[in-house]
Amino acid sequence: MKRLLKGGHVVDPTQGIDGASDVLLDGDRVVAVGRDLAVDSGVEVIEIPDGLIVCPGFVDMHVHLRDPGQEHKETIASGTAAAAAGGFTAVACMPNTQPVNDSAAVTRSIVERAALLGVVRVYPIGAVSKGMKGESLSEIADLKGAGCVAVSDDGRPVASALLMRRALEYAGMFGIPVIDHCEEPTLKGEGVAHEGFVASMLGLRGIPAAAESIMVERDLALAEMTGTPVHLAHLSTRQSLRAMDAAKSRGLKATCEVTPHHFTLTDERLTGPTSYDTNLKMNPPLRERADVDAVLQGLRAGTVDVIATDHAPHQQDEKAVEFDRAPFGIIGLETAVPLALDRLVHRGVITFRRLVQLMSVNPSRILNLPGGSLRPGRLADVTIIAPSAAIVIDVTRSKSLSRNSPFDGWTLRGAVAATIVGGRTVFVNGEIAGLAALRAAGERG
Amino acid sequence: MSPETTPTTTGAPQADDSPIPTSRLRRKDLVGIAELTAEEISLILDTAVAMKEISSRPIKKVPALRGKTVVNLFFEASTRTRTSFEIAEKRLSADTLNIAASTSSVVKGETLADTVHNIEAMSPDLLVVRHSSSGACHFLSRICRAGVINAGDGMHEHPTQALLDAFTIRERKQRIAGLKVAICGDLLHSRVLRSNVLLLTKMGADVWLCGPPTLMPVGFERTGAHMTSSIDEAVEGADAVMMLRIQLERMLGGFFPTLREYFNVFGMTPERVRRAKPDVLVMHPGPMNRGVEISSELADGPSSVILDQVANGVAVRMAILYLLAGGAEHEAAA
Amino acid sequence: MPVVMDADRMARSLARIAHEIVERNRGVDRLALVGVRTRGVPIAVRLAAQLKEITGQDVPVGALDITLYRDDLMHHAVGPQPLVRSTEIPFSIDDRVILLVDDVLYTGRTVRAALDELIDFGRPRAIQLVVIVDRGHRELPIKADYVGKNLPTSHAESVSVRLAETDGCDEVVIEKTSGEDEA
């Protein structure tokens, strides 16, 4: 079954395309991209309304699907439905499930269940260490064989420098990256908020910026020593970004990501009408203005490679407690694209083309995924964006099983119009006009 | 948030003709000094002056809060503050109920919200809450119909303590603005400190904070207070010196090596206080560690107003209970 | 806004009341004045001066703030709380005759509150009530012992006693209110 996405504005940095173009899909592959492609008989033509942008499918390389083990927070089905609604055609899921994804058996079960229930592609990330205990390496070759695209102990740092060295050396042999959650555990201590004036006044135990940047520096030194790639998750401080920038200047194979909440919110949000809102509690914590500015500068200058959500669902009851007893984390799959468009593209921090790099091309490249490009022969994973549509975030309409977002009620400019995975339409935004043909195509499968 | 007081002359008249001057806190809860204006603080302190007289009467009780139910909900052990609130409530004729939550449902795994909703089902008018988590009173004030009075939340605020400290200073010095107040001890973990810094800076005092750098909250200069680790600099020319309790477990946390060394470097003694004004007030929110943050000689000496603070605590809490009891239902309905 | 009592008239009333007090109590031994805040207090101070002039003896003066004893205190769920001011009774009331002083006697509820509060200070031999104006409309069985002027009024009117100490001049005026019954 051939489908032609006709008349859209295509942005694909891998082919240098940024303009009016058609995309021809055949089954689960892209077969042609170009202006005014000839329409053979038997090709279903789907007109893309004016103003919409057609991009290679977005990839969120940092998601907690909570499945297996915490299915009351999220499941593979609900998490991938939220991903589709957020414009993501693939997600990489972190291994802190119950049981921890530290064996091929768990990986295979995730892969199999995702094939059955997943709305978008799911790429598991295996644990660096057995049980994520930070003691001995998990069977990384086995994990990769079963489908893991990276290893990480995310949620916890790899505290031991020696274990981190071994992980980099060993995983490097198989060409899969080690993703580290950078945090020096003794400095973080019992901290629940960024250490600074706001936490001091609120009487909240602080997590100093140095708890993150010390580990960033350590990981970069180890990556330099081992000559293997490292990917640093959710960087949040100006010191971390400075270290990353310096590492890139000396040619290190290191990459990093930032989250939408870290480029949007500061810790000042914890005061005033939303004081002690547990939906503002995440790790790393919301930082100061100067840190947010550094994150924005990193996005602009190229220090930052990826925007990832760190989607971390928690049930309402778990969050409706005292601030220091609430779990860390917020959901983010459905707010990432609107926040990126509103806060970054429309405010001139980055171009739309760079957004596609940050959310599609780069995460695909780092994890060696087949997506991230609309070149003929590649996967027919497509994200269609309505960059000027105004939307109001309403968590009650989220596809996620959880509602823990600090962005509820926000009005933002920029929305996901549709998501296509392997040629199948998996999401169409009912509030964007002119997408009936796409919706009908989705219903036919 | 626009807290303001309205000292007006058009109150609801009762029986006779002259209009009755009225005023109240335009709020349902007292969760922190941060939310109060200087005018509201003055109103509480002025009302407390009238309340203090009641404690000197032969019958130390007035019918003002007759029929009101006040629940003292303490999730953390406290003798001093709970007793002070209870006496204040009884002197205003409120019905009081003490719940030591650490010994009840919380142990069985009930959440804070559930515990409080169960108590609220019995229609109390005011909840006096002490909790070990910072922000617990903010959380409760959002989910409760009854007014919430913060009796200390984690390391955040202890507003009634700061108000009674200010009352004590004002009673002795007739003012707060322009006075140099030194606060010394464990600044990092102290809710008394946060409330006092907020209150004293709002009222125009010159606030000096002193302690080891390991026990200093980051970024606190932004409050307008001076930060120093020199006790002599902090005490120099001070009108009041307030010591904060050093919790013995801090030593184990590695914030300083030994209590002995702490006392040698930061302990307040008559010699050190000599740098202050001759009529300096020596204050302590209690309970004291004699020989750790303060010498016995000083605590029991002529400059000490530590027991005045305790006595004034009742008057200040009566004032707060009275002022909040009138506005609670209104604000909740609004 | 008719003035029903001017400064001169008020002064003569107070002088007459002072004489009545001395006559009825056969002197001022064991007498004390307690003014109800706000305007009862300066009136009590003036009466003490008059009594001193007549008898040469000092009569102690106290001030009573009845706010915390008001029967409508917590009934106004909506609206501000009356401002509490200090009660100052710097003498024992036990076994004394207390002259309770207020400006206007109307429903009698203020006097009820004042009596309750006074009793909490001890056991006076007797309490006698002094008012400048009695405007009627009692809601409680209360009667003044000494009255400056009986003034028949309607509920739609309000009576204001103004004093030099608090208002800059001595006079009693009667005003139409907006039609609402304030009591």
Residues C142-152 have pLDDT tens digits of 999 999 999 99
Residue A196 sits at the chain B interface (C-beta within 8 Å): yes
What CATH number has the domain spanning A2-54+379-444?
A: 2.30.40.10
The per-residue pLDDT for B107 is 61
C71/B contact by beta carbon, under 8 A: yes
| CA dist B305 → B58, B195, B297, B299, C110 (Å) | 24, 19, 13, 9, 38
CB A140 within 8 A of CB A171: yes
CB of A272 within 8 Å of any CB in chain B?
yes
Collect all residues with Cβ–Cβ distance below 8 Å to C154 and sequence separation of at least 6: none
CATH of A57-366 given 3.30.1050.10, 3.20.20.140, 3.30.530.80, 3.30.70.1350: 3.20.20.140
Using a CB-CB distance cutoff of 8 angstroms, which residues of chain C are in contact with residue B42?
none
pLDDT of B8: 35
Q: How far is B140 from chain C (nearest CA, A)?
A: 21
What's the residue count for chain A?
445
Using a CB–CB cutoff of 8 Å, tell me whether C95 touches chain B.
no
Q: What is the mean pLDDT of chain C?
A: 91
Verify whether the Cβ–Cβ distance C79 to B326 is below 8 Å.
yes
B16/C70 touch (CB, cutoff 8 Å), yes or no: no
The 3-state DSSP class for residue A305 equals: coil
pLDDT at C183: 37
Residue of B16, B328, B330 with shortest CB distance to C104: B16
Q: How many angstroms from the chain centroid is the CA of residue A90?
A: 9
- Beta-carbon contacts of residue A191 (< 8 Å; ≥ 6 apart): A205, A206, A207, A208, A211, A285
Integer Cα distance of B96 and C143 in angstroms: 37
- pLDDT at B10 (0 to 100): 34
Burial class (CB in 10 A: 0-12, 13-18, 19+), B98: middle
What is the per-residue pLDDT for B108?
Answer: 67
DSSP state, residue A395: G
Work out how many CB contacts closer than 8 A connect B with C: 125
A8 in B contact zone (CB under 8 Å): no
Scanning A284-385, the segments in alpha helix (DSSP H) are: 289-301, 316-319, 336-339, 352-356, 362-366
Helices C7-25 and C40-55: crossing angle in degrees, nearest 10, is: 60
Of all residues in chain B, the one with the smallest CA distance to C64 is B50
Contact A48, A8 (CB under 8 A): yes
Of A208, A276, A317, the CB nearest to B135: A276
User: Which residue in A196, A272, A322 is closest to B133 by CB distance?
Assistant: A322
Report CB contact under 8 Å: B11, C82: yes
Closest CB to C83 among B21, B327, B330: B21
**Can you tell me the distance from the alpha carbon of B91 to that of B314, in angstroms, rounded to the nearest whole number?**
9
Question: Nearest-CA distance from C51 to chain B in Å?
Answer: 26
Class of residue B75 by CB neighbours under 10 A (exposed 0-12, middle 13-18, buried 19+): buried
Q: Annotated catalytic, A310?
A: yes
| Chain segment C117-139, per-residue pLDDT in tens | 999 999 999 999 999 999 999 99
CB contact under 8 A, B12 and C69: no
Q: Do C68 and B17 touch (CB under 8 A)?
A: no
**Which tokens belong to C3?**
């003035």
Q: Of these residues, A310, A317, A342, A394, which one is catalytic? A: A310
Residue with token string 């006097």: C111
Residue extent(s) of CATH 2.30.40.10 domains in chain A: 2-54+379-444
β-strand partners of A25: A3, A30
| Rounded-to-5 percentages of helix, strand, coil across chain B | 40, 15, 40
A206, A272, A275 member nearest B135 (Cβ): A275
Q: What is the value of pTM for the model shown?
A: 0.90
Give the model's pLDDT for residue B329.
37
Inspect the interface and report whether the beta carbons of B16 and C110 lie closer than 8 Å: yes
A206 lies within 8 A of chain B by CB: yes
pLDDT for position B251: 72
Contact C167, C173 (CB under 8 A): no
Q: Residue C71: what pLDDT?
A: 80
Chain B's closest residue to C161, CA to CA, is B18
Q: What is the DSSP string of B200-215?
A: HHHTT-EEEEE--GGG
pLDDT at A90: 98
Chain B residues touching C91 at Cβ < 8 A: none
Which of the residues in chain A have pLDDT under 50?
A: none
Which residue on chain A is closest to B153 by alpha carbon? A203
Q: Would you give the DSSP letter of residue A149?
A: -
Tell me which residue has tokens 């006092």.
B196
Q: Do C65 and B50 touch (CB under 8 A)?
A: yes
Picking from B35, B112, B139, B223 by the largest number of A CB atoms within 10 A of its own CB, the best residue to mutate is: B139
Phi first, then psi, for residue A38 (nearest 5°) are -65, 140
What pLDDT, in 10s, does the model give residues C59-115? 999 999 999 998 877 655 445 667 888 899 999 999 999 999 999 999 999 999 999
Tell which residue, B176, B144, B148, has the closest CA to residue B162.
Answer: B176
Partner residue opposite B135 with nearest CB, options A196, A198, A323: A323
Say if the Cβ atoms of A204 and B155 lie within 8 Å.
yes
Is B135 within 8 Å of A325 when comparing Cβ atoms?
no
Residue A205 is classified by DSSP as P
> Cβ contacts (< 8 Å) between B317 and chain C: which residues?
none
* Structure letter (DSSP) for residue A362: H
For chain C, say whether B49 makes contact (Cβ under 8 Å). Answer: yes
Q: Would the CB atoms of B112 and A275 count as touching at under 8 Å?
A: no
How close is the nearest chain B Cα to the Cα of C18, in Å? 23
Domains and CATH numbers, chain C: 3-176 (3.40.50.2020)
CA distance readout (Å), B317 to A17, B81, B159? 71, 10, 10
CB A284 within 8 A of CB A254: no
pLDDT in tens, chain B (334 residues): 333 333 333 333 333 444 455 556 778 999 999 999 999 999 999 999 999 999 999 899 999 999 999 999 999 988 899 999 999 999 999 999 999 876 555 666 788 999 999 999 999 999 999 999 999 999 999 999 999 999 999 999 999 999 999 999 999 999 999 999 999 999 999 999 999 999 999 999 999 999 999 999 999 999 999 999 999 999 999 999 999 998 777 777 889 998 899 999 999 999 999 999 999 999 999 889 898 899 999 999 999 999 999 999 999 999 999 999 864 333 333 3
Task: Please indicate whether, in this complex, the C-beta atoms of B18 and C106 are within 8 angstroms of each other.
Answer: no
Q: Is B220:A197 a contact under the CB 8 Å cutoff?
A: yes
Residue in B134, B141, B158 to test binding to A, most A beta-carbons within 10 Å: B134
Q: Which residues pair with B268 in a beta bridge?
A: B294
Chains with ≥3 CB–CB distances under 8 Å to C: B
Let me know if A280 is exposed, middle or buried by CB neighbors in 10 A (0-12, 13-18, 19+): buried
According to the model, what pLDDT value does residue C80 have? Answer: 60
Residues of chain A with CATH 3.20.20.140: 57-366
* Tokens of residue B20, six digits: 């009755």
- C117:B62 CB<8 A: yes
Cα B208 to Cα A438, B183, B187, B205, B227, distances in angstroms: 67, 6, 11, 10, 6
Do A and C count as touching (3 or more CB pairs closer than 8 A)? no
Q: Which spans in A250-341 are helix H? A: 260-264, 289-301, 316-319, 336-339
- To the nearest 10°, the Cα dihedral for A342, A345, A349, A350? 150
A410/B84 Cα distance (integer angstroms): 45
- Dig out the tokens for A142 from the structure: 């086995």
- Does the distance separating the beta carbons of C182 and B13 come in below 8 Å? yes
Query: Is chain C in touch with chain B: ≥3 Cβ pairs within 8 A?
Result: yes
Give the number of A-B residue pairs with CB atoms closer than 8 Å.
64
